[in-house]
């Protein structure tokens, strides 16, 4: 009888221990963006990799992207509840939030954010309707334009570009604030003249728009942001190391010519209160699972250690756990 009681007690304790271990597994919320943008697919793939290999329960959640993601990382991370928010963010949004220049961070700059790795470059797509007559940013005056979803990095960049081109949102004929998929659909249906989208190559919703336009006998048109223009020169001077001149090759969306534009390196960030062991395990798991990530998301071909350590001397600090991984593999001293 005594042996049976001890065996039962051991089984109870074992079950309790197993349940505690399951409960103790950190919950990671990978904040992404809208469906139709690369953030969503990238974040979903990262969540799968981390759940398999980093000893965490990771879930990707749809958001309005960069600004909302920064707010969630800053304000919803709660070590007491073993819950941590990670964010896919644009570098200019992160910079403006960290320094308190972004509107929603003026009272409380996001000094808590830390970089884990660089994901891939977002390229600004300024999509214009075929035959719209829009040849410059100034030509957007009086037109129906979407500047991206509220709280997104696209919106931040769109406002910077409009301001640089001397255009106020009040100058627009109609100002919409739509995500990638909604913007593409609206332009295809003739209810938008142009829209901004900052995303990786290729962005699925823009590929679909190009196909839809081709069926109607039209070609995708992307407005140039020429590095020789004052607008681009001023932006590059204002945000050194955050953005760079780039090109969207014509083959990507079957446009008439290569599109001159701006590139912004997306970052994966977390809160400074993420334990070092967790940040290390997450970073290591991400790079160990590179093959799966690249198979799932074409833009992830640029998620490399060499690209990730580009910004170590930048304004926003890296998390010690990520730095530990980069030192371990000999990428940094």
Angstrom CA distances, 295 to 73, 204, 238, 275, 301, stand at 27, 15, 36, 30, 9
Q: Which two tokens stand for residue 93?
A: 């949004």
- Tell me, yes or no, whether 37 lies in a domain: yes
Angstrom distance (rounded) from CA 1 to CA 7? 10
Residue closest to 207 by CA, chosen among 65, 45, 38, 34: 38
DSSP string for residues in 119-130: EEEEEEEEEE-T
- Whether 3 maps to a domain, the answer reads no
Question: Do both 170 and 293 map to the same domain?
Answer: no
DSSP 8-state symbol, 143:
S
Domain ends where: 264, 281, 311? 264
In a domain, 132, yes or no: yes
324 within some domain: yes
Give yes or no: residues 165 and 194 share one domain: yes
pLDDT, one tens digit for every residue, the chain (333 residues): 545 444 444 444 444 334 334 458 999 999 999 887 889 999 999 999 999 999 999 999 999 889 999 999 999 999 999 999 999 998 889 999 999 999 999 999 999 999 999 999 889 999 999 999 999 999 999 999 999 998 788 998 999 999 999 999 999 999 999 999 999 999 999 999 999 999 888 899 999 999 999 999 999 999 999 999 999 999 988 776 678 899 999 999 999 999 999 998 899 999 999 999 999 999 999 999 999 999 999 999 999 999 999 889 888 999 999 999 999 999 999
Among positive and negative, which fits the CA dihedral 222, 227, 228, 230? positive
Give the domain range for residue 152: 123-264
Round to whole Å and give the CA distance between 148 and 127: 12
> What is residue 310's predicted lDDT score, i.e. its pLDDT?
85
Residues 157 and 249 occupy one common structural domain:
yes
Q: Do 259 and 132 belong to one domain?
A: yes
**CA separation for the pair 251, 257 (Å, rounded):** 8
Phi, psi at residue 18, to the nearest 5°? -65, -45
For the full predicted model, state whether its pTM sits above 0.85: no
* pLDDT for residue 70: 97
Instruction: Give the end of a domain, one of 210, 241, 264.
Output: 264
Q: Domain for residue 186, yes or no?
A: yes
Look at residue 14 and give its three-state secondary structure. Answer: helix
Residue 56 lies in a domain: yes
Tokens of 251: 């083959």
pLDDT of residue 241: 67
Whether residues 87 and 127 share a domain: the answer is: no
Of 264, 279, 307, the residue at which a domain comes to its end is 264
Q: Is the peptide bond before 202 cis (omega within 30 degrees of 0)?
A: yes
* 128 shares its domain with 260: yes
Q: What pLDDT score was predicted for residue 285? A: 98
198 DSSP assignment? E
Q: Is the separation of the CB atoms in 58 and 268 below 8 Å?
A: no
Report CA torsion sign: 109, 238, 43, 39.
positive
> How do residues 8-50 score in pLDDT, each as one tens digit?
444 444 443 343 344 589 999 999 998 878 899 999 999 999 9
Note the pLDDT of residue 7: 46
Do 130 and 175 share a structural domain?
yes
Do 166 and 260 share a domain, yes or no?
yes
Q: Is residue 46 a part of any domain in this protein?
A: yes
Do 165 and 218 lie in a common domain? Answer: yes
Q: What are phi and psi of 185, to 5 degrees?
A: -65, -40
Token pair recorded at residue 256: 């008439």
Contact at 8 Å (CB) between 134 and 144?
no
Q: In Å, how far are 22, 215, 326 from 151, measured between CA atoms?
A: 34, 33, 32
Which CATH number do you get for residue 101? Answer: 3.40.190.10
Domain count, the chain: 2
Same domain, 260 and 275: no
The pairing of strands 57-61 and 243-248 is unpaired
Please measure the distance between the N-terminal and C-terminal CA atoms of the chain and give it in whole angstroms: 62
Same domain, 245 and 129: yes
pLDDT on residue 5: 46
> Are residue 189 and residue 152 in the same domain, yes or no?
yes
Within-domain flag for 9: no
- Residues in the chain, overall count: 333
Identify the CA nearest to 26 among candidates 77, 63, 66, 74.
77
């Amino acid at each position: 009888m005594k042996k049976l009681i001890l065996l039962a007690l051991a089984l109870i304790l074992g079950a309790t221990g197993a349940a505690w271990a399951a409960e103790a597994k950190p919950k990671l919320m990978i904040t992404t963006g809208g469906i139709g943008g690369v953030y969503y697919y990238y974040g979903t793939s990262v969540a799968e990799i981390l759940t398999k290999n980093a000893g965490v329960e990771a879930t990707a959640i749809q958001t309005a992207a960069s600004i909302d993601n920064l707010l969630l990382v800053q304000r919803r991370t709660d070590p007491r509840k073993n819950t941590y928010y990670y964010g896919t963010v644009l570098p200019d949004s992160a910079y403006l939030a960290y320094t308190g220049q972004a509107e929603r961070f003026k009272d409380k700059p996001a000094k808590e954010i830390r970089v884990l790795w660089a994901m891939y470059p977002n390229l600004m797509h300024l999509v214009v309707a075929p035959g719209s007559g829009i040849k410059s940013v100034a030509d957007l005056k009086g037109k129906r334009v979407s500047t991206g979803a509220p709280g997104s990095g696209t919106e931040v960049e769109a406002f910077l570009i409009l301001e640089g081109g001397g255009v106020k949102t009040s100058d627009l004929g109609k100002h919409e604030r739509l995500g990638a998929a909604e913007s593409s659909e609206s332009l295809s249906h003739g209810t938008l003249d142009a829209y901004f989208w900052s995303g990786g190559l290729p962005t699925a919703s823009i590929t679909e728009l190009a196909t839809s336009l081709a069926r109607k006998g039209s070609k995708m048109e992307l407005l140039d942001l020429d590095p020789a223009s004052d607008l681009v020169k001023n932006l590059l001077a204002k945000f050194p190391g955050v953005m760079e001149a780039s090109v969207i090759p014509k083959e990507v969306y079957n446009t008439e010519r290569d599109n001159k534009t701006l590139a912004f390196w997306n970052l994966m960030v977390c809160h400074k209160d993420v334990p070092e062991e967790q940040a290390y395990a997450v970073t290591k798991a991400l790079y160990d699972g590179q093959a799966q990530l690249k198979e799932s998301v074409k833009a992830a071909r640029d998620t490399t250690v060499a690209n990730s350590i580009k910004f170590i001397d930048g304004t926003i600090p890296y998390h010690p756990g990520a730095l530990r991984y980069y030192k371990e593999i000999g990428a940094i001293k």
